[in-house]
Amino acid sequence: MESDGESIGKTFWEVELRRLNEGLPRARRPLSDLLKEDSPAYKNASGESVRLDREEIEEFSKLVPPNRKGEVRLPLIIMKEASLKRGTYRIEGNAEETKAVGAALRKAKEGQFLFRPEVMELCSRFPSLITFGYIL
Protein backbone atom coordinates (compact mmCIF):
# COMPACT_ATOMS: atom_id res chain seq x y z
CA MET A 1 0.00 0.00 0.00
CA GLU A 2 1.31 3.45 -0.95
CA SER A 3 1.81 6.08 1.73
CA ASP A 4 0.38 9.57 1.25
CA GLY A 5 3.88 10.86 0.45
CA GLU A 6 4.44 8.20 -2.23
CA SER A 7 1.03 8.91 -3.74
CA ILE A 8 1.70 12.65 -3.86
CA GLY A 9 5.13 12.04 -5.38
CA LYS A 10 3.70 9.76 -8.03
CA THR A 11 0.99 12.30 -8.91
CA PHE A 12 3.62 15.06 -9.10
CA TRP A 13 5.74 13.09 -11.58
CA GLU A 14 2.72 12.16 -13.70
CA VAL A 15 1.76 15.85 -13.97
CA GLU A 16 5.34 16.89 -14.75
CA LEU A 17 5.72 14.22 -17.44
CA ARG A 18 2.45 15.25 -19.03
CA ARG A 19 3.69 18.86 -19.10
CA LEU A 20 7.07 17.85 -20.55
CA ASN A 21 5.37 15.80 -23.26
CA GLU A 22 3.02 18.59 -24.41
CA GLY A 23 5.37 19.19 -27.35
CA LEU A 24 4.74 15.72 -28.74
CA PRO A 25 2.60 15.63 -31.88
CA ARG A 26 -1.03 14.58 -31.80
CA ALA A 27 -0.31 12.82 -35.08
CA ARG A 28 2.90 12.60 -37.06
CA ARG A 29 2.69 13.53 -40.74
CA PRO A 30 3.99 11.53 -43.74
CA LEU A 31 7.10 12.97 -45.36
CA SER A 32 5.45 12.60 -48.77
CA ASP A 33 2.61 14.94 -47.68
CA LEU A 34 4.88 17.49 -46.02
CA LEU A 35 6.99 17.78 -49.18
CA LYS A 36 3.90 18.99 -51.08
CA GLU A 37 3.08 21.80 -48.63
CA ASP A 38 4.33 25.39 -48.71
CA SER A 39 4.09 25.78 -44.91
CA PRO A 40 4.39 22.28 -43.41
CA ALA A 41 3.26 21.97 -39.80
CA TYR A 42 1.76 19.61 -37.22
CA LYS A 43 -0.39 20.02 -34.10
CA ASN A 44 1.21 19.17 -30.78
CA ALA A 45 -0.50 17.59 -27.77
CA SER A 46 -1.46 20.98 -26.35
CA GLY A 47 -3.13 21.95 -29.66
CA GLU A 48 -0.52 24.41 -30.92
CA SER A 49 0.51 24.43 -34.56
CA VAL A 50 4.26 23.75 -34.93
CA ARG A 51 5.95 24.69 -38.21
CA LEU A 52 8.53 22.47 -39.82
CA ASP A 53 11.33 24.04 -41.83
CA ARG A 54 10.82 23.29 -45.52
CA GLU A 55 14.57 23.19 -46.29
CA GLU A 56 15.15 20.71 -43.47
CA ILE A 57 12.34 18.52 -44.81
CA GLU A 58 13.85 18.56 -48.29
CA GLU A 59 17.32 17.76 -46.92
CA PHE A 60 15.99 14.92 -44.74
CA SER A 61 13.95 13.53 -47.65
CA LYS A 62 17.22 12.90 -49.56
CA LEU A 63 17.99 10.22 -46.95
CA VAL A 64 14.78 8.29 -47.74
CA PRO A 65 14.24 6.18 -50.89
CA PRO A 66 11.50 7.70 -53.11
CA ASN A 67 9.19 4.71 -52.66
CA ARG A 68 9.47 4.96 -48.83
CA LYS A 69 8.69 8.66 -48.29
CA GLY A 70 5.09 7.82 -47.36
CA GLU A 71 6.30 5.53 -44.57
CA VAL A 72 8.47 8.13 -42.86
CA ARG A 73 6.54 10.42 -40.54
CA LEU A 74 7.66 13.68 -39.02
CA PRO A 75 8.49 15.07 -36.60
CA LEU A 76 11.01 12.52 -35.44
CA ILE A 77 10.43 11.66 -31.80
CA ILE A 78 13.44 11.01 -29.61
CA MET A 79 12.56 9.46 -26.27
CA LYS A 80 14.48 9.79 -23.03
CA GLU A 81 13.61 6.89 -20.78
CA ALA A 82 14.62 6.65 -17.15
CA SER A 83 15.43 2.96 -17.67
CA LEU A 84 18.12 3.74 -20.26
CA LYS A 85 21.72 4.47 -19.36
CA ARG A 86 22.75 8.09 -18.99
CA GLY A 87 23.15 9.83 -22.35
CA THR A 88 21.16 7.14 -24.21
CA TYR A 89 18.03 7.94 -26.19
CA ARG A 90 15.61 5.94 -28.34
CA ILE A 91 14.06 6.79 -31.69
CA GLU A 92 10.29 6.35 -31.49
CA GLY A 93 9.52 5.28 -35.01
CA ASN A 94 9.46 2.60 -37.65
CA ALA A 95 12.32 0.90 -39.50
CA GLU A 96 12.35 3.47 -42.33
CA GLU A 97 12.68 6.33 -39.87
CA THR A 98 15.47 4.53 -38.04
CA LYS A 99 17.27 3.93 -41.35
CA ALA A 100 16.96 7.60 -42.33
CA VAL A 101 18.34 8.73 -38.97
CA GLY A 102 21.20 6.24 -39.32
CA ALA A 103 21.94 7.60 -42.80
CA ALA A 104 21.89 11.18 -41.48
CA LEU A 105 24.44 10.20 -38.84
CA ARG A 106 26.42 7.99 -41.24
CA LYS A 107 26.12 5.10 -38.77
CA ALA A 108 27.55 1.78 -39.93
CA LYS A 109 25.01 -0.16 -37.87
CA GLU A 110 21.42 0.97 -37.70
CA GLY A 111 19.38 0.72 -34.55
CA GLN A 112 16.85 2.61 -32.52
CA PHE A 113 19.27 3.78 -29.82
CA LEU A 114 21.20 7.03 -30.01
CA PHE A 115 23.82 8.60 -27.80
CA ARG A 116 23.94 12.24 -26.72
CA PRO A 117 26.51 13.36 -29.37
CA GLU A 118 24.34 11.80 -32.12
CA VAL A 119 21.23 13.51 -30.76
CA MET A 120 23.09 16.82 -30.68
CA GLU A 121 24.18 16.34 -34.31
CA LEU A 122 20.61 15.57 -35.39
CA CYS A 123 19.31 18.61 -33.53
CA SER A 124 21.87 20.87 -35.17
CA ARG A 125 21.05 19.58 -38.68
CA PHE A 126 17.27 19.19 -38.36
CA PRO A 127 16.10 21.27 -35.37
CA SER A 128 12.51 21.73 -36.52
CA LEU A 129 12.06 18.03 -37.40
CA ILE A 130 12.84 16.69 -33.93
CA THR A 131 10.85 16.65 -30.73
CA PHE A 132 11.54 14.93 -27.43
CA GLY A 133 9.41 12.72 -25.23
CA TYR A 134 10.05 11.53 -21.69
CA ILE A 135 9.15 8.28 -19.95
CA LEU A 136 9.87 7.24 -16.37
| Bridge partners for 80 per DSSP | 134
User: pTM for this one?
Assistant: 0.84
What residue numbers bound the domain in which 104 lies?
4-135
Total domains present in the chain: 1
Helix axis angle, 116-125 to 95-104, nearest 10°: 90
d(CA 128, CA 126): 6
The tens-digit pLDDT sequence of the chain (136 residues) is 556 666 766 666 667 767 777 889 999 999 999 999 999 999 999 999 999 999 999 999 999 999 999 999 999 999 998 788 889 999 999 999 999 999 999 988 878 999 999 999 999 999 999 999 988 7
| Beta strands at 76-81 and 130-135: parallel, antiparallel or unpaired | parallel
